[in-house]
Chains A and B, each alone.
Chain A
Amino acid sequence: MSIEKQLRDTLRRVADDFDPTDAASGVRSEGMRVLAHRRRRQRMSVASAGLAAVLVAVAVPLGVSLLSAEPKPPDAPVAASSPPQTTADASAFDGPTRGSLAGNADFVEAIRQLDWLFPEEDDLLAPNPPVETRRVVYVGEFVQDDEFVGTAALVVGSANAEPTPAPSGEPDTYPRPPEPPSEPASEPTAESPTRPGYPQTDQLAAVWFIGPAGASADQMHPNQPRWISPDLPTSLFDDTTGTLLVIAAPGDTVEVSPRPEVAADGTVSRAYAASERTDGIAIAAVLPVPYDGPPSAQFRISRAGSVVAELAPDERIYGAPDGPDLELHYLRTPDYGGQDGLGSEELRIAASILSEYGLAADQVRFDVHYVGPLPGSRASTYAGLQVLTATFPSGAVLTRAEWIEMSPVLEPNKGDGYSYGLCADELSPAGLPAALRFIAIRCVVGAESEDDQSSLIVIPPGDGDAFYAEVGATERLVLYFDESGIGILDSFPDGAQTVLVYSVDEALLAEVSIWTE
């Protein structure tokens, strides 16, 4: 019997033999109403325990103030009621335990003793500091709207392990310990999260434990342990409710931006608004993530009057993507090359764009310019390319192209594995509708080895007169568009930066800049 059949048979038999009890009243609508009421009462009892400052951060319409805030310059003065500024060398991870459950000493100690890893874990390279070095930085309950999100705890510890590479090929990998910069770090920009310079430090590791509301210690489960910098804050984000929990140093100013703004000229900026905080703990309401993709929110920390970090959430509680179905406009018939299931790659790309930019499905028009084969690397059995444009509310257009490749894994006769990467991710100003634009992309497929395949892809508008194109800095090459209207050169001409596109009667239609990742 094949392993697949054996597995299917086992699962079916186990399920058939399992006798579920009839639905208890607790899961019918009356039970749901009781549960919601009970959680509201729990929240109020937490408030009465002297944690009103934390709950005010949630109860006050922070989401409204965040979304309506005017852009502030990076050195905006702190409100007069804020606590004194911390010194430049303050750490978010020193000092007594903070959070709504910090007063429960037994619970805090039980959290501190929890294992970070288990023997059968695949990720044996993850940090696992000795118990005696560990301390609980934060433990408290996530509250958002009327619903408990859960219980969260942050534990840190010190370890002397050498930096270890993240396991390759897995979707969930551990970041390397932060390397000290070789030169002074630049100032953070409005758009790129930066990690300013920091001194050589002991290896500090951290793990978030997550559990349901009212969890006991043994109901708290670890997320991925990872190396962190002691000079930078850390954060936890709940996809479902859009709740952001920031652990900063007491006295730090925490500002939150729900999403980037893309202007008509294609530039990107962010509006930040100060978040209420208690002892450096800020809980902010930002945008949930209804699709698969990174959250659009970022936060900014100021210390001693200067911005020290501008970061995206670094730990997440993933939710179930529940956004409405996306509408994609196909400019050409997609060619999936007979590969089962590749039809979802365009949807995934579109969903990721919506998540990154914090937009709803009806705010963005997606045009799919090309889905089809692409020259792959030497070991490839199939390679494909997806090219989408996203037109934002301002009219600016994002062009994103991704490749996917199937190739045999290292061991023979074990089947194929997939790899994928980015070819282009470009914002351009509003103007010509995306569907009428020419696109030229350099795409490198492979695992960054000498077997990689570097191609040029030229994509004219769907209905047009494009017949051939010329490219090349030193030697002019000509490529003709195929019946799908696409031109592909399977060897990228060195130094090429633009493509000239002509009609059949040799009239110049466009000079197109080549995008590359």
Chain B
Amino acid sequence: MNRGPAGGETAAAFDAFVGHRYAALVRFGYVLTGNRASAEDLVQTALFRTYRRWDRLDDQVDPFAYVRRTMVNAHISWTRLLSSREQLFAEPPDRAGVDDGHDLERLQMWRQLATLPARMRAVLVLRFYEDLSAAETARVLGCSVGTIKSQTFRGLARLRRDLAEGDSDLIQDEASKLRSGARHENHR
């Protein structure tokens, strides 16, 4: 078992890691949970556990993968799909940049992600945000590759279906807004 530096050296190593990776961890937590408060709570919980186990970690320079794994499993074990708490899955932050024509699609996708079970969403985030392979994702979640592939397939299928169903609603909403705008324009 590796024994790392104790006391002040541990604190320095831990702080260096936090300073380097905190932003990435919170972004990951945000994509995973859908809201800032939960993301920050999750990061704090995971960092607390990491800090307590620092001397036993294999990687005492950049244990990003360990912290990420702790976040994912803590999130899954303590949450279920809570659709009545849609407010917890916040709207994505406003973009300052130019709309490239896909903002509506992204908004729809983000909203649909909120409806997925926590474990399924975690699989998709690990595979398509962190770009982990199926095997790497299986290691994070502690399950078989078969489970990961099954969850990936079903998650994507569900998004595909939900987006197709939501398209018609969205088009009607947007058309309605356009008609309202046109009427206002005509009354100037």
A residues contacting B by CB (< 8 A) are 1, 3-4, 6-15, 17-23, 26-30, 32, 35-36, 115, 118-122, 147, 150, 169, 171-172, 210-212, 221-223, 240, 291-292, 316-322, 324-325, 340-345, 347-348, 351, 404, 409, 414-420
Contact = CB atoms under 8 A, between A and B. Distances in A.
A351 B77 CA distance: 20
A245 to B, nearest CB: 15
A221 to B, nearest CB: 5
25 contacts: A7-B109, A9-B102, A10-B105, A10-B109, A11-B128, A23-B18, A28-B14, A28-B15, A32-B52, A35-B48, A121-B83, A212-B78, A223-B80, A292-B143, A319-B73, A320-B66, A321-B142, A322-B66, A340-B145, A345-B145, A348-B143, A404-B144, A414-B157, A417-B150, A420-B144
Contacts of A319: 70, 73-74, 77
Contacts of B23: 20, 23
Interface string B87-104: 000001111000000100
A13 B47 CA distance: 25
Most chain B CB inside 10 Å of its own CB: which residue of A3, A319, A415:
A3
Given A4-B156, A6-B105, A322-B53, A17 B95 contact: yes
Contacts of A35: 44, 48
A419 B144 CA distance: 10
Contacts of A212: 41, 45, 78
B77 A318 contact: yes
B146 A419 contact: yes
Contacts of B128: 4, 7-8, 11
A463 B36 CA distance: 58
Given A11-B125, A28-B15, A322-B66, A340 B78 contact: no
Interface residues of B, number: 79
Contact of A7 (B58, B70, B83, B156): B156
Contacts of A147: 52
B106 A9 contact: yes
Given A18-B92, A318-B77, 16 more contacts: A6-B163, A11-B31, A14-B31, A15-B28, A20-B30, A27-B18, A210-B77, A212-B45, A221-B82, A317-B77, A319-B74, A325-B58, A340-B133, A344-B135, A344-B138, A419-B146
Contact of A15 (B129, B135, B139): B129
Nearest to A240: B49
Contact of A415 (B1, B41, B153): B153
B117 A122 contact: yes
A420 B11 CA distance: 45
B115 A120 contact: yes
A317 B73 CA distance: 9
A167 to B, nearest CB: 12
A318 B163 CA distance: 32
B158 to A, nearest CB: 10
A29 B14 contact: yes
B51 interface: yes
A11 B76 CA distance: 19
Given A3-B156, A11-B31, A27-B47, A20 B138 contact: no
Nearest to B106: A10
Contact of B106 (A14, A325, A404): A14
A9 B110 CA distance: 11
Contact of A32 (B41, B48, B113): B48
Contacts of A240: 49
Nearest to B145: A341
